[in-house]
Amino acid sequence: MKGHQYLEQLRNEFESQTLALRFSKKVMVVIALVIGATITGFVALAIKFLEQL
């Protein structure tokens, strides 16, 4: 019975790590999109500024 409980505990830990990994990947994608949008905005502002010169 102890072996079964141990394997069940290992399986639960693996599944929770997998969910955490999926969540962290999604967070990284969102952060990358925000950074990309910010950089794009700054480039657009720089272009507008340079056109006025």
Spell out the long-range contacts of 32-39 with Cβ–Cβ below 8 A and sequence spacing 24 or more.
none
pLDDT at residue 46, as a whole number: 97
C-alpha distance from residue 19 to each of 30, 32, 42 (Å): 17, 20, 35
Phi, psi angles (nearest 5°) of residue 11: -65, -45
Q: What is the pLDDT of residues 1-53, one digit of tens each?
A: 788 899 999 998 888 888 788 889 899 999 999 999 999 999 999 999 999 98
